[in-house]
Chains A and B, each alone.
Chain A
Amino acid sequence: MTQPQRIPGKGSIDRTRPVRFTFDGREYEGYHGDTVASALLANGVRLMGRSFKYHRPRGVMTAGSEEPNALIEVMENGQHTPNVRATMQEIYRGLATRSQNRWPSLSFDALAVNDRLSAFLSAGFYYKTFMWPRAWWEKLYEPVIRRAAGLGVLSGKHDVGRYEKAWAHCDLLVVGSGPAGLMAALVAARAGADVIVAEEDRQMGGRLLSDAPEVDGLPGDAWAAEVLGELVELPNARVMRRMTVTGAYDDGSYGALERVGLHLGEPGNLPRECFWRIVAKRAILAAGALERPIAHPDNDRPGVMLVSALRAYVRRWGIDPGRTVIFGNNDGALDAARALTAEGVRILAYVDPRPGIDPVEEFRVYRGEVVGTTGRLGLKTVKFRHKGGTSELAAETLALSGGWNPTLHLACHMNARPNWDDAISAFVPRDGMVPNLTVVGAASGQFSTAKCLEQGAAAARAALAELDRKVPDIRVPKAGDGRYAIAPLWSVQVPGHAWLDFANDVTTKDVVLAAQEGFSAVEHMKRYTTQGMAPDQGKSSNVAALAVLAEATGQGIPATGTTTFRPPFVPVSIAALGAGARAKGFAPERRTTSDVVARRMGAPMIEAGLWFRPSYFPRAGEATWRDACDREVKMVRESVGVCDVSTLGKIDVQGADAERFLDFVYTNTMSTLKPGRVRYGLMLREDGHVMDDGTCARLAEQQFMITTTTAAAGLVMRHLDFVHQAFCADWDVRLISVTEHWAQIAMAGPKARELLNTVLEDPVTPESLPFIACMSTQVQGVPGRVFRISFSGEQGYEIAVPARYGTALFERLVAEAEGLDGGAYGMEALNVLRIEKGFITHAEIHGRVTAFDIGMDRLVSSKKDCIGRSASLRPGLIGEDRQQLIGLMPVDAQEPLTAGAHLYAKDASARAADGQGYVTSVAYSPTLGSWLGLAFLTNGRARHGETIRLDDGLRGRKVICRVCDPVFLDPEGGRMRA
């Protein structure tokens, strides 16, 4: 028979929809609406996992996200998701799950030997045990412990599942959908406020579902359904199920994890999870309370669960728990015993240590304490002592209730501490722990249904009033207002292992030991014993553990205090936090207009910032990139090459004070530039170091177009904006980026002008457009600009046209260039060309060099001030001690140089103290037939002609080099001006 433990007709599962799934390879049947935990219980399976340290057999303890025991792995398409709480994973057709932390099987686990050795494995054992011999730690102890530790197994594959991140904004966020939460949501939603109700369960209602207290004459679940029916019809209310609010952050921001498609066998394009960032003007925390167990010997066997879990499994999932013993110390447990009896559950005994407990009930009541249990893989008997002696009863279920802890975690996320309330033996929130967050209902320590409803309504009204909204007149429904009494009982004082933290296997003995060894502060105890450090973060153990600690130290609970509650409230997968950031989602791709042409030509693309640029354009017969690169360099030096340079930043600067502004941001003078002329310019940071270089073209009296390097385009724009706003806001200057509007193509080589003139309507001559001049002109019928500038040392031009024509212009120029024995060249050749010519890039101006270091101190005008000038003159930033830009050539021309290598005197040792500099750029120059390098060398400019050793410790290279001028080719610039 399937599902033998299911009570006919009971529960909100859909019995018309049976669902088959597997656990540890065995197929089970449950119903739609079941969790793995409820479906396994229905099938009589109580053993669901093994504990972390001692590998003790464990069953389900709770019916919610706080579950410490029943952690399982879910397998889908070769992926494993470990540490899934069986209480949260809904079953679907074909769901495959398995237990974890056991070998070879769940019922026979070899590492259960740890349990036998538990006397040696108490808290802190590894700090004491694995001290000697010292060398063994790395070689033996650590590998063995690492293999034994950890929960669950990952597939080792990339998680290619769909995840999502989203924002939501609302007037009121209600966390939890029990009586307090629903009432708050209803009041606010009826007032027209934008409300989000977040509920981590698949069903809204909280304890209304499992306890079903009467509300306005209706069973709680029916009332909840009625309220929900109204909320979902209101356009201003968002009812979000399967969503756990995980953290409270600044300015009304909350994090929340939504399980979107994890309950579906075929989720299609539905994301698995969505991580929400909710911004709420006001928030109401109505997350209820979490029940806590009582520590007594062997209180961790499969079949031992919390009273609240028992109620939920009976009422919501129709589970028959079999013969049941309840052990509680509060009125809630007693109420539960009555309610469960009414539901037909066989309560063999209700055990309660409180004096004055009334023995007249429909079940046997014992004033006493549970002192032990038996049953290796599942509870068999429960032993308890009472006035009449000690009894032992055969039972399948033992339900524990040590009282309730308000779920106030979110309220503590901004580091506020809760107060201890003796009346309910629990921590309760204080006002104002998180700005604009109000805690209501059981989360505030209020356990009567009537008070929860009232508080929910009142908090919503207060929030509405603060938001200047009309407060609707809504009657709060009638409900029970029962008293909740409790007598604290944290652990039963008898010998034996009594578990506090089930997830991390921490017993009362461990906590007492921590206190004995001096770890008597609660945060120290936590770290010494690992209590509260498991995936459940000690939700059901923190308070009991610190109470046991308080007893051991004699300090009392309020003085002992709690550990810090930090986000997230439940485990959040990294995949959800990083949703959308895999592969193409990692960063935007910026593509030039010629991208499509370059790819068609087979060019491998390399990234330059976010841009993609062609590395080289391979041709038939070329075996390596070097073959292509050498050919392209030669092509530029001998005929003509074409290269897309659109990625360089372009900034339009206009205004009556534009020239004054540029004089202020550039080291050199731009105000003397005549319209139609271009000048190289250098910019410094305020600290005097070089920020960027580029060109400045004067298009008109009051309009300039400046260029930046590709990498620093954003940086320079930000810098200029800052300078304008902070230092000269009253100057008439306006700046705007035009990087994307213009496609700009460079032509370089002796035939550059010939190539340029093939696309211009009015051909240029050296006289009409001399070196470093610019003009507006018609390019194939399109208004464009031409600049005569060069980054290769050859005759060079750049044409700019509106981006829509970029693709066509590049194609046209490449075709024309090929007709002139030229063609396209890529970044590799561009780099070689500029190194041959000693032109710098951000490899050289890397942020730690001054204009002096790169030999451009004469470009820092002394006739005017500029950003960074004063700072650049500080002692230490100029002089012989500085490492200065030099050229390097290996004595053996064919010996490769490597960038990143350091420079030493020929026979000096390769120590930091002997370091004289470092290499920034290298290339093989086909023009000069030698390797070349650019480097910084102490007092380098005075040392041209010396020999020096390049030492690359990383790649194991040592090369003797000659120091020379960084301009290797055509130092007079005749080719460039031709």
Chain B
Amino acid sequence: MPDLAETDAFAGLDLPITMGECRLATCAPQLITSVAPRNGREAAVDAVLRDFELGFPTPGKMIVSGSARIIWAGRETAFLMGVEPPAGLRLEAALTVQSDGWAGLHLTGSGAEAVLARLIPLDLRLSTFAVHDVARTLLNHMPCLIFRPAKTAFEIYVFRSMAGTAVHELTEAMRSVAARQAVWQE
């Protein structure tokens, strides 16, 4: 048993919060391993992962199998979340533990797209950014990894050090969107 206490990336922040048609909560910390196939080993990596009903995702996509998810995270890289990397993967890919480097937020509700439209320049309409679509982009000024686990839900991962700013930005956007929904506008 570790003798050191764990501190959550969002410690001291008041989450979850609900405003208008939107709720912001933290994603439970989980094991995150970056998987970068070695030269010419993309097919082998894909095969190893397929044995676990996953596979190596194409750019902008993610694959889900039970509590395990593998999410495209950039050039020739994916983040395996929620499970230990399968045995044999290390021979085919560079694996790096990233669990503590990223802070995940879960934004849900019918107002989620409107909130993100204040912070993210990408087209996140369902017709363009479908369920299980993934993007590396900016959350206002912060680099982020965003994906859509369900129609009205987004998970947004930012650098752990920026967790406070991310919550601040999202909360402010939620406040404005909620105010628009609440104010009677003839």
Contacts and interface: CB of A to CB of B under 8 A. Distances in A.
A739 B7 contact: no
Interface string A917-930: 00000000000000
A166 B117 contact: yes
A804 B165 contact: no
Given A654-B94, A734-B94, A167 B120 contact: yes
Contacts of B102: 740
A218 interface: no
Interface in B26-47: 29, 34, 36, 38-39
Interface in A591-623: 591-593, 596, 610-611
A588 B160 contact: no
Given A164-B118, A277-B121, A590-B162, A740 B179 contact: no
Interface in A282-307: none
Interface in B83-117: 93-94, 96-102, 117
B101 A803 contact: yes
Interface residues of B, number: 58
Contacts of B96: 652, 654, 736, 738
8 contacts: A588-B166, A590-B159, A652-B96, A655-B39, A781-B2, A802-B99, A804-B9, A808-B5
A591 B94 contact: no
Interface in A726-760: 730-732, 734, 736-743
Nearest to B118: A166
A294 B182 CA distance: 46
Nearest to B19: A269
Given A169-B128, A736-B34, A738-B96, A596 B12 contact: yes
Given A162-B176, A781-B2, A803 B140 contact: no
Nearest to A592: B161
A contact patch SS: mixed
A591 B11 CA distance: 12
Interface of B: 1-9, 11-12, 29, 34, 36, 38-39, 75-77, 93-94, 96-102, 117-118, 120-123, 125, 127-128, 140-142, 159-162, 164-166, 168-169, 172, 175-176, 178-180, 182-183, 186
Contacts of B169: 580, 585
Contacts of A98: none
B100 A741 contact: yes
Given A167-B120, A655-B94, A780 B3 contact: yes
Identify the 9 closest CB pairs spanning chains A and B, nearest first. A740-B101, A734-B94, A741-B101, A803-B100, A269-B179, A590-B161, A654-B94, A169-B123, A780-B3
A812 interface: yes
B118 A781 contact: no
Contacts of B11: 596, 807
Given A164-B176, A194-B125, A655-B94, A732 B7 contact: no
Interface stretch (A260-268, A390-398, A409-417, A428-436): A260-268
B183 A270 contact: yes
B142 to A, nearest CB: 5
Interface residues on A, range: 35 or more
Given A194-B125, A734-B94, A803-B100, A269 B6 contact: no
A337 to B, nearest CB: 33
A812 B4 contact: yes
B45 to A, nearest CB: 12
Interface of A: 32, 162, 164-169, 194, 260-261, 264, 267-271, 277, 279, 580, 584-585, 587-593, 596, 610-611, 652, 654-656, 725, 730-732, 734, 736-743, 779-782, 801-809, 812
B132 to A, nearest CB: 20
B165 A588 contact: yes
Nearest to B178: A269
A801 B98 contact: no
Nearest to A658: B94
Nearest to A809: B4
Contact of B2 (A194, A654, A805): A805
Contacts of B5: 805, 807-808
B98 A738 contact: yes
A741 B98 contact: yes
Contacts of A585: 140, 168-169, 172
Contact of B7 (A737, A782, A807): A807
A33 B129 CA distance: 39
A268 B182 contact: yes
Given A593-B7, A611-B161, A809-B4, A269 B128 contact: no
Nearest to B183: A270
A732 B39 contact: yes
Contacts of B178: 269
Nearest to B159: A740
Contacts of A725: 75
A804 B101 contact: no
B183 A268 contact: yes
Contacts of B94: 652, 654-655, 734, 736
Contact of A268 (B39, B98, B172, B179): B179
Given A166-B118, A654-B96, 16 more contacts: A167-B120, A268-B179, A269-B175, A269-B178, A279-B123, A589-B164, A611-B161, A725-B75, A734-B36, A734-B38, A734-B76, A740-B159, A741-B98, A743-B100, A802-B99, A808-B7
B36 A736 contact: yes
Given A164-B176, A585-B140, A781 B3 contact: yes
B2 A580 contact: no
B77 to A, nearest CB: 7
A588 B162 contact: yes
